[in-house]
Amino acid sequence: MNMIYNSPNYCVVEFAGFAARDGHEEAGGFEIMDKTSKREIFIGGLLADSFRKDVTSLIDSEPSTEEIDDYLSRFDSMMQHPLVLH
């Protein structure tokens, strides 16, 4: 688990691959948290691969916090899980 982004509005945590029950390696994924609406989503598979590529390109352009938050807001409509602190 590695926090890759944290702003007043969003937090993104990357989860490295983990062993599945049958012993095959999984690709891991990302948890995107919207602090304002207190919702989150976990993305894996092809969506996580696409997210990783988009974020890499975004970082290469040296974006502002607002630009990163704007990109992350694209996931707001998919966030259905309430954000719960443990």
Q: Are 64 and 25 in contact (CB under 8 A)?
A: no
pLDDT in tens, 8-51: 999 999 998 755 555 555 668 999 999 999 999 999 988 998 99
CA distances from 71 to 19, 58, 64 (A): 30, 9, 11
pLDDT in tens, 40-60: 999 998 899 899 999 999 999
pLDDT at res. 20: 52
Q: Which of 1-5, 13-17, 56-60, 70-74 has the lowest average pLDDT? A: 13-17
**Number of compact structural domains in the chain:** 1
Mean pLDDT value of segment 59-74: 96
- For residue 60, the enclosing domain spans 2-82
